[in-house]
Chains A and B, each alone.
Chain A
Amino acid sequence: MKKSIHLWVFILPVATVLAGIALYLLYTPLGANEDIVDGLGQANVTVVLTDEGFVPQHIRITKGTTVTFTTTRENAFWPASNPHPSHFIYEGFDPKEPVEPGDSWSYTFERVGVWAYHDHIRSYFIGVIYVEPE
């Protein structure tokens, strides 16, 4: 009997760990890392606001990279740091005025971190820029 108990003491933790891994994989918190486009090492990258939102919505860049924002929509847009409407988390990440269709706005990210942003005019358009150290 004691030998049987020792075997269960081994099986149950293994089963628990497997269950935990399954739960984590089923519910990965950030919607899966495969959504983050790799822009590491590039001096310039472009993010386009389409009718489906910012493309790419998640992008990883190196500190010092310049991101150029444009739009294919007919409306002006205004990419700016969260939160809406104060934009205080990353104060420079804000063109301070709308960007018209056909125009663009560029910003060089000098701060390492994870920077969520939105379209100040239509705040349901959101994106995240991951800035890695050089």
Chain B
Amino acid sequence: MRYRFVYMSLKPLALLPASWTLRALIVVALAVSAVIFIYFVSPDMRAVAGLRLCGVLSKHSQQVECVYKVIQKELHRGGLAPAVATFSRANTMYRNTLDVDCHAAIHRVGDMAYYDLLTNDPDLSHYDFTPQTTMCGEGFYHGFFEHLIQDDPRPERILATCNYFKHAESAYMNKISITCFHAAGHGLIRANAEQVPRALWGNPASFVDPALRVCDLIEGVTANELVLCKTGVMSIFIQMNSFENYGFSRKSSFDTCDMLVSSQRETCYRMAALMVSQRDDDYKRAWSTCSSAAPVLRRACIAYIPIGLFTNGIHPRSYQSALDFCSAVATTHAEQKRFCYEKVGQALIAQYRDPLYTPDCDLFPEEYRDICTSSTR
């Protein structure tokens, strides 16, 4: 009886030609056809098959490199869209393997895309910048634009590149232009760092000032785009200190900002607040410093902590954390309460949204609920 199911399942095969050789050839041909279908016709199945094969490797680093190799193969075969789609799958399948957060992990895909593709074909119109490429706080574009501008740090190049996205028809492409100006700042300070003589290592002005000057030279940008470029410079400056690069000693993000001249500190505090809250996935440590800072610096923190909380995606925990942050602001600085909720609303619009989660506007205080409803419409 137990074999009856097998017998009934295989019974139709008896309809095949009587010759067993022919039957065997037909079955093998079907199997090979299935493989060819997976490999050539269905990129998604091919990528999943490749990613699953990475799991058989015993060494952790081998698995990680295998995953990026699979992504690179899809990049070369199909371009940005399948590469990022493969990354999205890998980020789920190997979430605890990739060593870094989602933003940093896809940053490497952006590095890869710039070097493997853009250095050979710099025409941006040849690439499919899909909405999915903005996942993980636009980490892909941080890598992509950072190296593009590092290798060509002229204000004209920044303007041409970022305007390509700014003047595109779709809203998500316009949003990419925001990241473009910010990541250009990354590239500028990295490019400048290569020119700083060893005798000036450890001197903040030597690293920051030339990069900020290039931001100022970009013609026709809005005030916000200028700020984006400068915050990009500050982001890498904070990182240099954090990792003790170029003669800088390890400092907290806010202490790094305090090394700068006063006119530069507000821009730096914006990034420090974002980076600390992003890294902690919490506002408390950033706010403990900011709440006692000068009013202009405190206001910079209020504006950027929500962005940091949402960088790795908007989900119930990050959303609640942002609302808790505004409650904390209201406790000590009531006059900034509405400003805080407005910034949370702006961050909801600005950050990549997980379509499976819609923020519950009922969690906003009633007097500020309109901010949420207009943000999530």
Contacts and interface: CB of A to CB of B under 8 A. Distances in A.
Please indicate whether A and B come from the same complex rather than being unrelated chains. yes
Given A75-B194, A121-B190, A30 B24 contact: no
B77 to A, nearest CB: 12
A29 interface: yes
Interface in B308-325: none
Contacts of A84: 104, 107-108
B206 to A, nearest CB: 15
| B65, B66, B245 pick with most chain A CB within 10 angstroms | B65
B115 interface: yes
A82 B61 contact: yes
A54 to B, nearest CB: 12
Contacts of A87: 243
Given A1-B14, A113-B59, A27 B53 contact: yes
B353 interface: no
Contacts of A7: 20
B119 to A, nearest CB: 9
Interface in A98-115: 98, 113-115
A38 B141 CA distance: 36
B100 interface: yes
Nearest to A32: B69
A119 to B, nearest CB: 10
Contacts of A75: 194
B31 interface: yes
A23 B35 contact: yes
Interface in B138-186: 143, 147, 150
Contacts of B62: 30, 114
B239 A85 contact: yes
A19 interface: yes
B236 to A, nearest CB: 9
B6 A29 contact: no
| A76, A84, A115 pick with most chain B CB within 10 angstroms | A84
| A9, A24, A83, A120 pick with most chain B CB within 10 angstroms | A83
Contact of A96 (B46, B65, B244): B244
B7 interface: yes
B339 interface: no
Contacts of B282: none
A11 B50 contact: no
Nearest to A115: B61
B54 interface: yes
A122 B150 CA distance: 9
Interface in A120-134: 120-125, 128
Nearest to B146: A123
Contact of A15 (B6, B7, B11, B31): B31
A124 B112 contact: yes
A45 interface: no
B65 A15 contact: no
B111 A19 contact: no
Interface string B190-205: 1001100000000000
A96 B31 CA distance: 53
Interface string B3-30: 0001100110110000010011001101
Nearest to A23: B35
Nearest to A28: B53
A83 B67 CA distance: 14
Nearest to B243: A85
Contacts of B243: 85-87
Contacts of B31: 15-16, 18-19, 22
Interface in A72-95: 75-76, 82-87, 89
B199 to A, nearest CB: 13
B34 interface: yes
A30 to B, nearest CB: 6
A97 B34 CA distance: 51
Nearest to A81: B61
Given A18-B28, A124-B114, A5 B10 contact: yes
A116 B190 contact: no
The 7 closest A-B pairs by CB, nearest first: A124-B115, A19-B31, A124-B111, A114-B61, A15-B31, A29-B66, A114-B59
Interface of A: 1-2, 4-5, 7-9, 11-12, 15-16, 18-19, 22-24, 26-31, 75-76, 82-87, 89, 96-98, 113-116, 120-125, 128
Given A30-B57, A82-B99, A122-B150, 6 more contacts: A15-B27, A27-B53, A29-B54, A89-B99, A116-B61, A123-B147
12 contacts: A5-B10, A8-B23, A11-B23, A15-B24, A19-B34, A27-B39, A29-B54, A30-B69, A31-B73, A83-B99, A113-B61, A114-B65
